[in-house]
Amino acid sequence: MEWTGARYADKPTVEVHTWIEAPPEQVWALVSDIELMPHMSSELQSVEWLDGSSGPAVGARFIGRSRHEAFGEWATTSHIVEYEPSKALAWAVEDPQHPTAIWRFTLEAHDGGTVLRQWMQMGPARSGLSFAIDSMPEKEQKIVFVRMREFEANMTVTLGEVKKLAEKARTSGEASL
């Protein structure tokens, strides 16, 4: 990720992608299982479906609990805003009309496997990062850049883990984990 000088209000985005030697349906089984995500992340600690939901659907909500060395521990409620099995899954954090972030997985059949992309947008609503920016407004661009680099690194790890699991399941003939 190169320096953009973005400010929080710019709603900066980051995207990573990988090619996985497995069909989209198999990759989908992993990325749509949000309860699996904490096992692939150093920051996300746990997730739990709310309102009796047991899986993704537009309007379904889940709580995510996270921990970061610099920011401490926090919990957010996310709302599924896009759900197209084997193609796309997206959620808005906190208010779906004015989110603190939007996260999205997209899957595309390609070359006998799947191109998996993970994308995120910071803002526009205030988040925990806003407090750091408030206390050091002259460093806003650096704060945003560093956090986006962290997201990029964590997303790269997540996609690597999905790739490993999907390819392992494919070669061992397992339907899932």
Tens of pLDDT, residues 90-116: 999 999 999 999 999 999 999 999 999
pTM of the model: 0.91
Please check the confidence at residue 3 and state whether its pLDDT lies above 80.
Answer: no
Residue 2 forms part of a structural domain: no
Contact (CB, 8 A) for 148 and 122? yes
Residue 157 forms part of a structural domain: yes
Q: What CATH number has the domain bearing residue 92? A: 3.30.530.20
Residue 177 forms part of a structural domain: no
| Cα separation of the two ends of the chain | 32
Q: Which of 46, 16, 47 is nearest to 161 (CA)?
A: 16
Residue 109 forms part of a structural domain: yes
Tell me the per-residue pLDDT of 111-136, one tens digit each, with 9 for 90 and over.
999 999 999 999 999 898 888 899 99
Residue 1 forms part of a structural domain: no
* Interacting residues of 59 by C-beta distance below 8 A, sequence separation 6+: 79, 80
Contact (CB, 8 A) for 104 and 119? yes
Strand partners, 61: 79
Beta strand 13-20 pairing with 72-84? unpaired
Contact (CB, 8 A) for 90 and 70? no
Residue 111 forms part of a structural domain: yes
Tell me the per-residue pLDDT of 38-77, one tens digit each, with 9 for 90 and over.
989 888 999 999 999 999 999 999 999 999 888 889 999 9
- Cα 88 versus chain centre, distance: 12
Residue 135 forms part of a structural domain: yes
Range of the domain at 78: 8-172
Q: Which of 85, 144, 86, 87 is nearest to 120 (CA)?
A: 144
- How many independent structural domains does the chain possess? 1
Residue 40 forms part of a structural domain: yes
